[in-house]
Chains A and B, each alone.
Chain A
Amino acid sequence: MLKKIAIEQISQLTAVLMDMGTLLAPVKEISGHNFMEIVDPKQVDLDFYNTIMSPKGAFFPHKEDFVKYKIGKPLSAAEPVLFNMKPAFLFGVRPCDVKSFEIMDIHFNDGGIIDPYWHHRRESTTIFGYAFDLDKPVEPADFYNTLGIYAADPEGSDIFMVKKEKELLLKSITHKGEKLLAHLSVLSSATSANEKYFEEYIKRGKEYKTRFTRVDPEAVALELEDVFDNTDFWKKISSACLSCGVCTFVCPTCYCFDICDDTLFGKGTRRRVWDACMFTDFTVEASGHNPRTQVYQRLRQKFCHKYSFHIRKYGVISCVGCGRCIRYCPVNIDIFTFVDIATKAKWYKRL
């Protein structure tokens, strides 16, 4: 089913979605766009390239409270924080970010232990994917083509949106999306010309080229295993790295977290917060020993996790080429160049 709405009247759609549940959409802030819970239908701004923070926060928030406790009381008196999620709508997610949810599902949703918080959020959320604007030049930092994702890839979205001049075309991709789209009377039906435009757009998306290097997961995993012990190579790659943590926090496929007990005056909360393998004390052990004290060790861990260990464990590369880590890195470290080196030139083996 294909429907449409004039971009000027987006606030009508957002108002309806707000009434039906929680709406998370991009909002323009001074530093850039970010996904936020919408409180005013006019807040939503679709005139952006991509958000600063990835939308993983919709399913895996930066800070999540689990249990409230009181010191001195028995364990049975601790109260789990009630988790009550209304239906949610994640509006305006770029194709690379939609793909990231699939990768994160491996850790939070598939087999073994299922994270009930992630699972519940994923179930109750309808994803409105949003194609990149093919009339604008490609961002130099992005490289999602390398990971097999296209600029107008509808896979993974419940409803996929494409901009056509002053209108927004919305197409249902999944059953969940179709049900919702049928319900939204604020949208008007699309014409057959619109249908054609939509299909053409998806095709054109495949021609929209980002930086590309051929990456075979098996081959790159092997390369990195080979070069793991070459400390000179890693020291060279990481000489600029500040080991700060920005790349981890903006990345849509990074999922490390820390569990903290924050207590004040006898009352406290056990919560989960994002952690980063780039932090110096990430691997500090109870004895005080830290196996990764050097920056090159932490950077090696980061790159190898995404392009080697993850492939060995789960068969997929833990990266979607969104380019955020490169854009927001204070020293412009480029993971794409690194992957390019690892898959092509073997000069580092002579180091």
Chain B
Amino acid sequence: MIRFKQIEERLKKEAKRLLESGAVAVVLAYEKGYDEKHPMPYAAKNVADVENIVFNEYCNYNMARYLVRYPQGTKIAIAVKAADSRAVIQLIQEEKVKREYLVLLGIPVQGMKNPKTGEVIDSKTTCGMHNPVLYDILLGDEVHGHKIVSPYDVLVQYEAMDKDARWEFWKKELDKCIRCYACRKACPMCYCDPCFIDQSKPKWADKAPQSSGNMMYHLTRFHHLAGRCIDCGECSRACPVNIPLYLFHKKVAKECEEMFNQRAGMSIEDKPVLIDFRVEDSDKILE
């Protein structure tokens, strides 16, 4: 049973301690939004700010996306749930942040809810892990004893579809896209400046929210996140028109895991799969 209030107390205690001692310059956590069900990401910079920190079942944000905003060398404490910790590990693998400048406040979770639908968030739309993979301080008891559900189980019905039916499905979904780029900004891994879609030389896709541009944007983004997506589901939660982006990201993550034997964001010693190779990679993957 996750005691959200208890985690909130311990989070505030640790944040206060770290800021007081000067061990960190900023603590990335959550604060209250316009009501209980809508908390906001929060950057506490001094001890007085710590009072505003909250933690409840709606605190889904992946705070790792804010790490790249701070200049290299800033000491940051960050509250991480399971997928968030993987995002931090992935950023360390990609050398965007250094491990020694981070203090990871791990939060084991279960029963996080999506404020739009009220549903419990589970392995159908995220990685399904409960415990952070990497942490300095654990703020709650680890969650154990639950049936392990593969985060790729939800793909079974889509993989079984006939390819034409699958095409129709994705075309219908991606036609809804209004090109607001909330998915890109919500993603902790999308830190490229400029993003490929903003470039005019070469112009990869039109700006207009129509089929061809939407396809190019999304297919390329799925590829840019191959082996890097840690399945936090933030992109899909950010989408105002509810496109199930997490399905495609999960599929690409599954394929990369099978082909290259490595899961994204699990160990800071790993190298991201697409900037690495093994001489013994099989040619079978090209079939």
Contacts and interface: CB of A to CB of B under 8 A. Distances in A.
Asked if A and B touch directly (CB within 8 angstroms), the answer is: yes
A40 B154 CA distance: 34
A332 B41 CA distance: 9
Given A243-B185, A273-B208, A332 B39 contact: yes
Interface string B186-199: 10000001110010
B208 A240 contact: no
Given A31-B176, A242-B182, A249-B178, A328 B240 contact: yes
A279 B180 CA distance: 9
B240 A52 contact: yes
Contacts of B61: 331
Contacts of B35: 140
A336 B34 contact: yes
Given A52-B241, A281-B194, A242 B207 contact: no
Given A31-B241, A240-B40, A332-B40, A273 B182 contact: no
Interface in A259-316: 260, 262, 271, 273, 275-276, 279-281, 295
A262 B216 CA distance: 15
A141 interface: yes
Interface in B149-205: 176, 178, 180-182, 184-186, 193-195, 198
Contacts of A334: 33-34
B43 interface: yes
B225 interface: no
Contacts of A244: 180-182, 184-186, 238
Nearest to B203: A262
B40 A273 contact: no
Contacts of B42: 239-240
A113 interface: no
Nearest to A249: B180
Interface in B228-253: 234, 237-238, 240-242
Given A239-B43, A244-B181, A331-B41, A62 B209 contact: yes
Interface string A217-234: 000000000000000000
A167 B263 CA distance: 58
Given A31-B176, A242-B185, A330 B33 contact: no
A77 interface: no
Contacts of B185: 242-244, 330
Contact of B182 (A32, A63, A246, A333): A246
Interface string B203-229: 000111110000000000000000000
Contacts of B176: 29, 31
B99 interface: no
A246 B240 contact: yes
A62 B209 CA distance: 8
Interface string B79-95: 00000000000000000
A96 interface: no
A327 to B, nearest CB: 9
Nearest to A324: B240
Contact of A330 (B34, B210, B238, B241): B238
Contact of A63 (B43, B65, B210): B210
B10 interface: no
Interface string A113-125: 0000000000000
Interface in B24-47: 33-35, 38-43
A337 B34 contact: yes
B209 A279 contact: no
A339 B240 CA distance: 24
A31 B242 contact: yes
Interface size class of B (residues with CB under 8 A): 35 or more
A205 interface: no
A31 B240 contact: yes
B180 A280 contact: no
A41 interface: no
A333 B38 CA distance: 9
Contact of B181 (A245, A258, A328): A245
Nearest to A272: B208
A30 interface: yes
Contacts of A271: 208
A326 interface: yes
Contacts of A295: 69
Contacts of A258: 207
Most buried by A among B34, B39, B198: B34
A248 B242 CA distance: 17
Nearest to B173: A30
| Shortest beta-carbon contacts, A-B, top 9 | A330-B238, A31-B242, A242-B185, A244-B185, A332-B33, A332-B38, A240-B41, A244-B182, A63-B208
27 contacts: A29-B241, A52-B241, A140-B34, A239-B66, A240-B40, A240-B41, A240-B43, A242-B182, A243-B185, A244-B181, A244-B186, A245-B182, A246-B182, A248-B180, A249-B178, A249-B180, A249-B240, A260-B206, A262-B208, A271-B208, A273-B209, A276-B180, A330-B238, A331-B41, A332-B34, A332-B40, A337-B34
Interface of B: 33-35, 38-43, 61, 65-66, 69, 176, 178, 180-182, 184-186, 193-195, 198, 206-210, 234, 237-238, 240-242
Given A32-B242, A244-B181, 14 more contacts: A29-B176, A30-B242, A62-B178, A62-B208, A62-B209, A239-B66, A240-B41, A240-B42, A258-B207, A262-B208, A276-B180, A279-B181, A295-B69, A332-B39
